[in-house]
Amino acid sequence: MGASQSTPKVTAQDRAILDLKLQRDKLKQYQKKIQQVLDREKEIARQHLAVGDKQRALIALRRRKYQESLLVKTDGQLESLEQLVSTIEFSLIEVSVLHGLKQGNEVLKEIHKEMNAESVEKLLEETAEAREYQREIDEMLSNNLTVEEEEAVEAELKALQAESVSESPPAIAHIINVRVQATEREAEQAPVELPSAPVNVPVAPEVYAEPIPNTHEEEPEQRERVPVMA
Amino acid sequence: MARSTHTTPSGFLLPSIHSAEPFFTQQPNPTTQSKQTETWSRLILSYARHRNLFFVRVEDAETAGGEWDEILRNERIKRKVMPPHLSHILSEMVAKNQAAYEPPKQTRSVLLYWRLPEEWAEVLHQWVTSTGQLTTILTFYEITDPPVPSPLSGIPAVLLRKAIAILGKTGRAQIISIADGEGARFFAATGK
């Protein structure tokens, strides 16, 4: 009872196939027997000849010939039986292929129900609208920020310069200073010579964003921390 | 006492103890006897594995000309295992599950388990899988006598049925019987 739950039931078809196969086995065994008789008869014939009994040898050989014809006939029947068995097994495979196709078809139909053409179109439209809207917003924002970004960048550069001057050797500091002077015409900064306390007072930038925090170099009154915009 | 190993005509290497006369006499001392029986059991099982034999009977010791002569007799030292001795060895083997009385309820003939039925079940399932015969209906004859020799060629129907029963417990085989004979169908191992 428990076994038949995990293995498929034995159908009448299965029994029919088993029957066919058993018949085929019987034929095979019969063939084996005939082959043995054949060999034995050949031996007997040989023995009779050795004794000189041609008559008996002839009889044995004739018997053998008859058995051989039986064998040939059995071969033919065996072949047709085996063909039948193969055809049945093949049609069983075909049935299961068909079954599989049907199942796959059903699954596909179900999926298509969820995915009808109208809802897809609507979705695409909405996505296009959203993208347009996003583009507009981007444009508006970019117009506003250009000037402010510029000032923030300049302030960052000044802070960086102050920092690097206190850490790096004079030569590099000089190069940095040269570069800084090249970009900032209006800011008159005296070149710092040695890694010592900076001479120039950093200017508090009038921007919304706070530059790189440089607590140890800014003077106390400059330490007005503007809240950073997230 | 130079005993030597000897290779039989069938290609089986006999251990050197097989050339010792006392080996063929049932020893009285319990310790020696148990050692002797153990050696004989091992010898019988490995010979059966070598020659693919499944049955050994007490009559193989009684009469010559059987399959077991190479083991149960040693012509060079003119000794052979006596029937009562063989009977004793067989009963010990059955007790240790190395063999089983087959047909049951008699003590003259045993079916040897040089491979346990569980192992036969695995070999059987592997053979069916590797020849692509899963879910095909097979007759017993097809399994014991396939056109291409397999590890299962010549297995007695009794042992085959036991192996199939073991596979049936794990849902990997089922026996189909009709009036004319029996067959079996095998399945791939269910997710376990």
Say how many domains are in chain B. Answer: 2
Structural domain includes residue B191: no
Q: Contact at 8 Å (CB) between B47 and B112? A: no
pLDDT of residue A116: 80
ipTM exceeds 0.85, yes or no: no
Q: What is the mean pLDDT of chain A?
A: 78
Instruction: Report whether pLDDT(B156) > 50.
Output: yes
Q: Which of B137, B170, B187 to mutate to test the interface with A (most CBs of A within 10 A)?
A: B137
Task: Name which residue leads in pLDDT, B114 or B192.
Answer: B114
Residues B70 and B137 in one domain: no
pLDDT digits (tens, 9 = 90+) for B50-66: 988 899 988 888 888 88
Q: Which residue has the tokens 């290779």?
A: B7
Domain identity same for B55 and B139: no
B124 and B180 together in one domain: yes
Domain boundary among B89, B112, B135: B112
B18 and B98 in a common domain: yes
- Domain around B95: 6-112
Residue B62, pLDDT score: 87
Q: Which helix (H) or strand (E) holds A22?
A: helix A12-51
pLDDT of residue A3: 44
Residue B48 is part of a domain; what is its CATH number?
A: 1.10.10.570
Counts for chain A of helices (H) and strands (E), in that order: 5, 0
pLDDT > 50? residue B167: yes
Say if B45 falls within a structural domain.
yes
Supply the pLDDT for residue B192.
Answer: 43
Nearest to B137 among A3, A6, A18 (CB): A18
Sign of the torsion formed by the C-alpha atoms of B39, B41, B43 and B49: negative
For A72-118, what is each residue's pLDDT tens digit? 988 898 889 989 988 988 988 899 899 999 999 999 998 888 888 78
A158 has a pLDDT exceeding 60: yes
Q: What end-to-end distance do the CA atoms of chain A give, in Å? A: 70
Instruction: From B65, B81, B112, give the residue that closes a domain.
Output: B112
Question: Of B87, B112, B137, which residue is a domain's last?
Answer: B112
Q: What was the pLDDT predicted at A219?
A: 47
Grade residue A183 by pLDDT with cuts at 50, 70 and 90.
low
First-to-last C-alpha distance (Å) of chain B: 56
**Who among A4, A25, A89 is closest to B136 (CB)?**
A89
CATH number of residue B152's parent domain: 1.10.10.10
Model pLDDT, residue B121: 92
Same domain, B55 and B128: no
What are the residue ranges spanned by the domains of chain A?
12-114, 150-187
Same domain, B105 and B124: no
pLDDT for A103: 95
Q: Are residues B33 and B123 in the same domain?
A: no
* pLDDT band for position A230 (cuts 50, 70, 90): very low
Same domain, B57 and B93: yes
Q: Is A193 helix (H, G, I), strand (E, B) or coil?
A: coil
Q: Is residue B82 pLDDT above 80, yes or no?
A: yes
B11 and B36 belong to one structural domain: yes
Residues B61 and B139 in one domain: no
Query: How many residue pairs from chains A and B have C-beta atoms closer than 8 A?
Result: 49
The sign one gets for the Cα dihedral A179, A181, A184, A185 is negative
Instruction: Give the span between the Cα atoms of B106 and B91, in whole angstroms.
Output: 11
Q: Across the interface, do A18 and B190 touch by the CB < 8 Å criterion?
A: no
- Spatial distance between the Cα atoms of B98 and B102, rounded to a whole number of angstroms: 13
Residues B172, B88 within the same domain: no
Chain B nearest C-alpha distance from A27 (Å) = 12
Q: Is the pLDDT of residue A23 over 80?
A: yes
- Give chain A positions within 8 Å (CB) of B139: 18, 21-22, 25
